[in-house]
């Protein structure tokens, strides 16, 4: 018998590998921070022993979910302003609140709440774009979550920097400090085409290339943005980025709502990852991204929650269900975005879009052990004919039971193991009192 660090059993193991192998009565063996083997329970149990065995009756085991676009610290602005057009929401509410409140302390406390919410909903990796990412990195690492942290770049001053040069200097320092970390991947995140001129975009790209780190940008989120970019550069947003040599497989583009066929072809050709933010797009009435067309063209489309101020939660399971249903209705075709495709978007394609395709996103030998289990012993998950159907159309965040990141159990029986949950909620309420008092 081989002694290993953990064995996770389940009635079903959804590997999400190339052939979408499902192991009925299966197990995943973890050694160190990686997956040693997946297989049938009866084979695994005669080959391996461990002091740490997660029993699997009534459980499904699957790769951790990946949130490829968020501004995690915005959880502290959850519900601060709703039911407004994007420009008014940003200019009159979100940016003033950020200018008043953002600081390393704010970010550090807010990231605790964001990670707690995401982990308890089965998210093991998030891809962020925000400010004071050093504080975010320290908190995410302390909690034990995997994160790609993009330092925001803008052409106008905010509390975190006074000019483009300073944003880029901050970003370079952050990249130098964190490159090579086991859990945190630094990233350069020019905000969008209407907030970053071509020179800032070129410099962001050069910086990312210099250090071999990813780029993260908002792209074609609203019709207004397309008109604005057309009037400034005489090109549509994706064409503009192509024109300045920005697009490649290192780029993750959030939204891509208003993209035309030739732009979709460009995104596919340049292997750009796309974060589809269905609920944010619905709430801000930004439009409907052509997800089915992008997938048909070979674009790697994944799920982002966007910030909690425009969603208002960080729940990939609900993004999955909503996305499948909305796109079926839009295309008047119920076969569009079937449950297997949706779960691929949330797992392996999410990892590929983030640049982690060789390391996470599926349960395969040698990949990092980012694994979750979902408890099927629930009224809304009974009876069971098709396990993919339940995960996509019926499961809730509260059904997530075990969450392992990088070989460590971070959520056990639905409870965060690394920090005190009540204390995190208490801190959030105290910040809310302060913010409300100052409004
Ligand atoms: Zn966003």
**Of 79, 126, 63, which is closest to residue 315 (Cα–Cα)?**
126
Q: What is the pLDDT, as a whole number, of residue 234?
A: 98
Q: How far, in Å, from the CA of 311 to the mean position of ligand 1?
A: 10
Q: How far, in Å, from the CA of 69 to the mean position of ligand 1?
A: 6
Q: How far, in Å, from the CA of 185 to the mean position of ligand 1?
A: 18
Q: What is the pLDDT, as a whole number, of residue 232?
A: 98
Q: How far, in Å, from the CA of 218 to the mean position of ligand 1?
A: 6
Q: How far, in Å, from the CA of 71 to the mean position of ligand 1?
A: 6
Q: Which two tokens stand for residue 317?
A: 């399971």
Q: How far, in Å, from the CA of 47 to the mean position of ligand 1?
A: 46
Q: How far, in Å, from the CA of 317 to the mean position of ligand 1?
A: 18
Q: Are 303 and 276 in contact (CB under 8 A)?
A: yes
Distance in angstroms (rounded) separating the CA atoms of residues 301 and 320: 12
Q: From first to last of its 439 residues, what are the pLDDT tens digits of the chain?
A: 999 999 999 999 999 999 999 999 999 999 999 999 999 999 999 999 999 999 999 999 999 999 999 999 999 999 999 998 888 888 999 989 999 999 999 999 999 999 999 999 999 999 999 999 999 999 999 999 999 999 999 999 988 899 999 999 999 999 999 999 999 999 999 999 999 999 999 999 999 999 999 999 999 999 999 999 999 999 999 999 999 999 999 999 999 999 999 999 999 999 999 999 999 999 999 999 999 999 999 999 999 999 999 999 999 999 999 999 999 999 999 999 999 999 999 999 999 999 999 999 999 999 999 999 999 999 999 999 999 999 999 999 999 999 999 999 999 999 999 999 999 999 999 999 999 886 5
Q: How far, in Å, from the CA of 431 to the mean position of ligand 1?
A: 22
Q: How far, in Å, from the CA of 339 to the mean position of ligand 1?
A: 25
Q: What is the pLDDT, as a whole number, of residue 438?
A: 60
What lies within 8 Å, CB to CB, of 324 at 6+ separation is 337, 338, 339, 342, 392, 393
Bond before 312 cis per omega within 30 degrees:
yes
Name residues with Cβ closer than 5 Å to ligand 1, which is an ion.
306
Q: How far, in Å, from the CA of 22 to the mean position of ligand 1?
A: 34
Q: How far, in Å, from the CA of 277 to the mean position of ligand 1?
A: 8
Q: How far, in Å, from the CA of 390 to the mean position of ligand 1?
A: 29
Q: What is the pLDDT, as a whole number, of residue 437?
A: 82
Q: How far, in Å, from the CA of 131 to the mean position of ligand 1?
A: 13
Phi, psi of 145 (to 5 degrees): -100, 150
Q: How far, in Å, from the CA of 152 to the mean position of ligand 1?
A: 11
Q: Are 30 and 77 in contact (CB under 8 A)?
A: no
Q: How far, in Å, from the CA of 55 to the mean position of ligand 1?
A: 38
Distance in angstroms (rounded) separating the CA atoms of residues 185 and 190: 16
Q: How far, in Å, from the CA of 154 to the mean position of ligand 1?
A: 14
Q: How far, in Å, from the CA of 151 to the mean position of ligand 1?
A: 13
Q: How far, in Å, from the CA of 306 to the mean position of ligand 1?
A: 5
Q: How far, in Å, from the CA of 31 to the mean position of ligand 1?
A: 36
3-state SS track over the chain: CEEECEEEEEEEEECCCCCCCEEEEEEEEEECCEEEEEEEHHHHHHHEEECCEECCCCEEEEECEEEEEECHHHHHHCCCCCCCCHHHHHHHHHHHHHHHHCCHHHHHHHHHHHHHHHHHCCEEEEEEEECCHHHHHHHHHHHCCEEEEEEEECCCCECCECCHHHHHHHHHHHHHHHCCCCCEEEEEEECCCCCCCHHHHHHHHHHHHHHCCCEEEEECCCHHHHHHHHHHHCCCHHHHHHHCCCCCCCEEEEECCCCCHHHHHHHHHCCCEEEECHHHHHHCCCCCCCHHHHHHHCCEEEECCCCHHHCCCCCHHHHHHHHHHHHHHHHCCCCCCCHHHHHHHHCHHHHHHHCCCCCCCCCCCCCECCEEEEECCCHHHCCCCCHHHHHHHCCCHHHEEEEEECCEEEEECCEECCCCHHHHHHHHHHHHHHHHHHC
Q: How far, in Å, from the CA of 36 to the mean position of ligand 1?
A: 36
What is the value of pTM for the model shown?
0.97
Q: How far, in Å, from the CA of 435 to the mean position of ligand 1?
A: 22
Q: How far, in Å, from the CA of 438 to the mean position of ligand 1?
A: 25
Q: How far, in Å, from the CA of 72 to the mean position of ligand 1?
A: 10
Q: What is the pLDDT, as a whole number, of residue 226?
A: 98
Bond before 203 cis per omega within 30 degrees:
no
Radius of gyration of the chain (CA): 21
Looking at the DSSP assignment, which residues form a beta bridge with residue 276?
Answer: 303
Give, in degrees to the nearest 5, the angle at Cα 366 between 363 and 370: 45
């Amino acid at each position: 018998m081989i002694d290993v660090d953990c064995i996770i059993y389940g009635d079903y193991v959804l590997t999400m590998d190339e052939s979408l192998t499902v192991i009925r009565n299966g197990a995943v063996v973890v050694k160190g921070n990686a997956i040693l083997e997946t297989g049938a329970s009866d084979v695994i149990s005669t080959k391996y022993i461990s002091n740490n065995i997660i029993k699997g009756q009534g459980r499904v085991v699957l790769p951790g979910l990946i949130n490829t676009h968020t501004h995690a610290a915005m959880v502290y602005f959850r519900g601060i302003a709703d039911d407004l057009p994007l420009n008014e929401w940003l200019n009159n509410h979100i940016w003033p609140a950020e200018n008043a409140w953002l600081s390393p302390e704010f970010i550090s406390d807010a990231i605790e709440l964001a990670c707690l919410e995401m982990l308890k909903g089965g998210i093991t990796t998030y891809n962020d774009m925000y400010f004071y990412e050093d504080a975010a990195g320290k908190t995410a690492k302390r909690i034990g979550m995997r994160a790609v942290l993009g330092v925001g770049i803008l052409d106008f001053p905010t509390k975190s920097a006074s000019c483009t040069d300073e944003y880029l200097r901050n970003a370079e320092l952050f990249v130098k400090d964190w490159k090579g970390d086991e859990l945190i991947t630094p990233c350069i995140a020019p905000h969008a085409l209407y907030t970053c001129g071509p020179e800032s975009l070129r410099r962001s790209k050069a910086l990312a290339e210099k250090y071999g780190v990813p780029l993260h940008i908002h792209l074609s989120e609203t019709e207004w943005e397309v008109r604005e970019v057309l009037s400034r550069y005489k090109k549509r947003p994706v064409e503009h980025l192509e024109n300045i040599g920005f697009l490649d497989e290192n780029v993750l583009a959030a939204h891509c709502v208003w993209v035309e066929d030739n732009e979709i072809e460009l995104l596919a050709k340049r292997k750009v990852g796309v974060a589809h933010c269905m609920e944010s797009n619905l709430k801000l009435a930004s439009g409907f991204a052509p997800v089915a067309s992008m997938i048909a063209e070979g674009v790697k489309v994944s799920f982002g929650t966007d910030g909690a101020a425009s969603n208002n939660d960080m729940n990939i399971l609900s993004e999955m269900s909503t996305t499948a249903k909305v796109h079926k209705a839009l295309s008047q075709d119920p076969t569009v975005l079937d449950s297997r495709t949706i779960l691929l978007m949330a797992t392996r394609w999410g990892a590929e879009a983030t640049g982690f395709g060789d390391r996470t996103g599926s349960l395969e030998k040698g990949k990092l052990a980012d694994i979750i289990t979902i408890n099927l012993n629930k009224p809304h998950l009974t009876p069971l004919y098709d396990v993919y159907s339940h995960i996509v159309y019926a499961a809730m965040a509260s059904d997530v039971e075990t969450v392992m990141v990088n070989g460590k159990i971070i959520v056990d029986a639905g409870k965060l193991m690394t920090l005190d949950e009540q204390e995190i909620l208490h801190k959030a309420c105290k910040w809310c009192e302060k913010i409300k008092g100052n409004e």
